[in-house]
Structure 1
Amino acid sequence: MDRRFALLSIALVASCGFYLFWGLGPRWQFILGLRAPKLIGMLLVGAAIAVATMVFQTVCRNRILTPQIMGFDALYILMQTAMVAVLGISGYAGLSISVKFGAEVVVMTVAALLLFGTLLGRGTQDVARLVLTGVILGVLFRSFSTFLARIIDPNAFAVVQAASFASFTNIEPNLLPVTGVVCLGAIALSLWLSPRLDVLALGRPIAISLGLSHDRLVLLALVIVAVLVAVSTALVGPIAFFGLLVSGLAHELTGSSRHARLLPMAILVATLMLVAGQTLFERVLGLQSTLSVVIEFAGGLFFLWLLLKGRTR
């Protein structure tokens, strides 16, 4: 595992170097000023999604579930559709980036905490009910989005469609300080909780018998997941299957169930995929396609492979 981690770390550093310095030209200061925020944003988003997915799978004790199944991406798309429908194209485009980002993070986080608090307020024995409720809410949000999309102007619908896919080329630099503090704080907390997450993965009866405060840890873990997913989604947009792909690769590469190994490996895999993939699409393919579409396609195939192999735990 240590050798693989070292090789992937070298690959990540090389990918970051290629992304920053490939084809700079004479106006290198201006170009670096544009590329550096995008790189920082990709590193933060990759790390956030990786940790959120690993922690969520530990809580659910299922390797084919991701936080997006709780309806985060559907809620985000509903918010974009509603804002375009109410404000119009010009009003939507004129929204302050900071205000829009803050509103999206607050709404998604509060919605998640209300869901967790309502369903798990009497104990965390029935996590399956929480997941099923999240699926139903996701369908409800998508239905509202579809209804609004049918009644708005076609040009406005094009704006909604553009906002429905993750974009790593339009990361707002002014949002990175707040995003960095929140993401790094939540990730550090998750790493500190790694030994307890190992016990949590054993199941509720065993965890309680070993002295773990199971219900409290589950709620704390879900709060971490809600914050990380809300911040990363508000920054770049929804990515449904990316976390699933990253967590699966992290399990395969580590061959371990210890979170002290899984979380760093998942962070490394996620950031490497984003940086290397975006470098390929920007520098080689000339943005002929988008990285998020390819990730969704690969993640969907990986999901089917996990189902066929029966690797759900």
Structure 2
Amino acid sequence: MAAAKADAPASAAAGRQRGRWRAPVLLAALTLLLVLGMIASAGVGQLTVSVTEVIGALLQGIGVDTSWAPATDVTYQALWQIRFPRVAMSLAVGAALAIAGAVMQAIFGNPLAEPGVVGVSSGAALGAALAIVSGGVFAGVFGMAAMAFVGGVGATLLVYFMARSQGRTEVVTLLLTGIAVNAFAGAGVALVIFIGDSAAREQIVFWQLGSLNGSRWNEVAVVASLTLVAGSVAFALARRYDLLALGERTAGHLGLRVERLRVISIIVVAVLTGAAVAFAGIIAFVGLVVPHAVRMMLGPAHKMLLAGSLLGGAVLMVWADLFARTAVTGAELPIGLLTSLIGGPFFFWLLRRARSRQGGWA
């Protein structure tokens, strides 16, 4: 017994030591996977480009001498006009969705929460569908993206204000209101599909499946800018999320303005998710899978959790997009389909794991 007591401090110290190294090792591994994925995604496709040419074209584009790794004009144009924007878009979209998921799980205190529960994805789908059917001033990629963004943010704000009562917002009420708004937006999309012509129907369905095809630098700039701004706000709130994890009442006694934090966080989630889905369509489960997996490895501290989620989301989207482009010869799989195939079983495993811990599901 005495020996066991003596070994306890040593064991605890060893655990802290392992935890201290776990975060930098994981972040370094994710960074390496991201770099490898970006190079592979830029080089693999109908036009195969060597690693040397990819690096050479990248450096040449930013003004660095690349006489040691020259790239032909065809290769250079293909990379900078088609491949590089798509890689950058996948990185920005993955990071935005994963950070949004981490914020959602923080303010709800539930590891199964994800951005779609507050109506942002369904609202964006309704906005995009209306833009596709109406045409006119909303014609073109930016018109549709603007309508999708407005729809996503508008649905989120509607959920929040409908769930707010007497200056407070109950989490359960917010979730139930989100379910109602999601159902209403889904019915709206179905109605728009019904009244649209065959071309509009196909475009709406394709948009809902998610795709990064045709990404351009001006679109990347919009998504990256919104992600940078909203993501910076999320990182600035990391300490407050740690306090909120102690419970609303405890956090309030420690000086945290819980309702104000929740309002700001919901706006951050709406901006991040709205920016991502506006150009990429509905990308499911990234906001659920990535933050939860990172939390399992790094623990609940939100500064590291947000950093790991940012990298993890980017890694998942870059590799998923590469697989979507290359899995079927002569065709491209919808990237939303792939993330659902990954996230669906993972979500079921989370439910089974949570249930078994409660002793109800062997």
In the superposition, relative to structure 1, how do residues 133 and 125 fare at CA in structure 2: closer, same or farther (>3 Å)? closer
Match of 2:77 in 1: 30
1:206 to 223, 245, 250: 250
- The answer to whether the aligner puts 1:44 opposite 2:88 as a matched pair is no
Corresponding residue for residue 123 of structure 2: 75
| Counterpart for residue 242 of structure 1 | 286
Q: Give the corresponding residue for 2:275.
A: 231
Distance 1:281 1:145, change over 3 A: closer
TM-score normalised to the size of structure 1? 0.90
Separation in structure 1 between the aligned mates of residue 168 and residue 213 of structure 2, nearest angstrom: 40
What pairs with 1:271-286 in structure 2 (closer than 5 Å)? 271-283=314-326, 285-286=328-329
In structure 2, stretches of 5+ residues that fail to align are: 1-21, 51-71, 358-362
Which amino acid in the other structure matches residue 128 of structure 1?
Answer: V
Q: Does 1:263 align with 2:309?
A: no
The answer for the alignment partner of 1:119 in structure 2 is: 163
**Whole-Å Cα distance in 2 between the matches of residues 142 and 46 of structure 1?**
24
Distance 1:115 1:229 in 2: 15
Amino acid at match of 2:41: Y
2:209 aligned counterpart, secondary structure: coil
Q: Structure 2: which amino acid aligns with 1:35?
A: R
* Bigger shift: residues 197-206 or 121-130: 121-130
1:114 CA displacement: 3.7
Is structure 2 residue 204 aligned with structure 1 residue 160? Answer: yes
CA-to-aligned-CA distance 1:158-198 (integer Å, 9 cap, x gap): 22211211101222322222322211011111112111111
Mark the CA change 1:284 to 1:157 in structure 2 (over 3 Å): closer, same or farther. Answer: closer
Aligned-residue offset at 1:79: 2.5
Q: Distance in 2 between matches of 1:121 and 1:201?
A: 23
Instruction: Using structure 2 for the length normalisation, give the TM-score.
Output: 0.78
* Contact map agreement 1:75 1:141 (CA 8 A) in 2: yes
- Structure scoring higher RCO (CA < 8 A, sep ≥ 6) equals 1
Are positions 1:185 and 2:229 aligned together? Answer: yes
Which residue in 1 is equivalent to 2:42?
20
The answer to whether the Cα contact below 8 Å between 2:125 and 2:148 also exists between their aligned partners in 1 is no
Correspondence for 2:27: 5
Distance in 2 (alpha carbons) for counterparts of 1:19 and 1:144: 36
The structure that has the greater radius of gyration is 2
Identity of aligned residues (%): 25
Per-residue deviation, 1:119:
2.6
* 1:55 corresponding residue in structure 2: 103
Give, as a single letter, the amino acid of the residue that structure 1 aligns with 2:307: P
- Provide the alpha-carbon RMSD of the alignment: 2.3
The structural deviation recorded for 1:123 is: 3.2
After the TM superposition, which of the residue ranges 135-144 and 149-158 deviates more from structure 2? 149-158
**CA offset digits 1:231-278 (Å, max 9, x no partner):** 111020112222111122112221x11001111111111111111222
Match of 1:172 among 216, 223, 227: 216
| Residue in structure 2 matched with residue 302 of structure 1 by the alignment | 346
Q: CA deviation at 1:128?
A: 1.2
**2:173 aligned to 115, 122, 129, which one?**
129
